[in-house]
Amino acid sequence: MNFFEQGPVGPEVKQLVLPAAVRRQIAAEARRALPEECCGLLLGHAEGEQAVALACAASPNLAPDRLTGFEIDPALLLAAQRRARAKGDAVLGHYHSHPHGPAAPSGTDRARAWTPGHVWVICAPGGADWSYSAHLAVEKKGRIVLQPLPIIDC
Ligand SMILES: [Zn+2]
pLDDT digits (tens, 9 = 90+) for 123-136: 998 766 789 999 99
Q: How far is ligand 1, taken at its centre, from the CA of residue 133, in Å?
A: 11
In a domain, 9, yes or no: no
Q: How far is ligand 1, taken at its centre, from the CA of residue 37, in Å?
A: 8
In a domain, 37, yes or no: yes
Q: How far is ligand 1, taken at its centre, from the CA of residue 122, in Å?
A: 7
Categorize the per-residue pLDDT at 21 as very low, low, confident or very high, splitting at 50, 70 and 90: very high
Residue 134 CB partners (closer than 8 Å, separation 6+): 16, 18, 119, 120, 121, 122, 148, 149, 150, 151
In a domain, 55, yes or no: yes
In a domain, 58, yes or no: yes
In a domain, 3, yes or no: no
Instruction: Look at residue 154 in the predicted model and tell me its pLDDT.
Output: 77
Q: Which tens digits make up the pLDDT trace of 24-63?
A: 999 999 999 999 999 999 999 999 999 999 999 999 999 9
In a domain, 38, yes or no: yes
In a domain, 99, yes or no: yes
Q: How far is ligand 1, taken at its centre, from the CA of residue 69, in Å?
A: 6
Question: Residue 69 belongs to what domain range?
Answer: 15-152
Q: How far is ligand 1, taken at its centre, from the CA of residue 86, in Å?
A: 30
Q: How far is ligand 1, taken at its centre, from the CA of residue 79, in Å?
A: 23
Q: How far is ligand 1, taken at its centre, from the CA of residue 46, in Å?
A: 24
Q: How far is ligand 1, taken at its centre, from the CA of residue 87, in Å?
A: 30
- Count of structural domains, the chain: 1
Cα dihedral across residues 129, 57, 69, 132: positive or negative: negative
What CATH number is given to the structural domain containing 33?
Answer: 3.40.140.10
Categorize the per-residue pLDDT at 3 as very low, low, confident or very high, splitting at 50, 70 and 90: very low
Q: How far is ligand 1, taken at its centre, from the CA of residue 106, in Å?
A: 5
What is the reported pTM? Answer: 0.93
In a domain, 8, yes or no: no
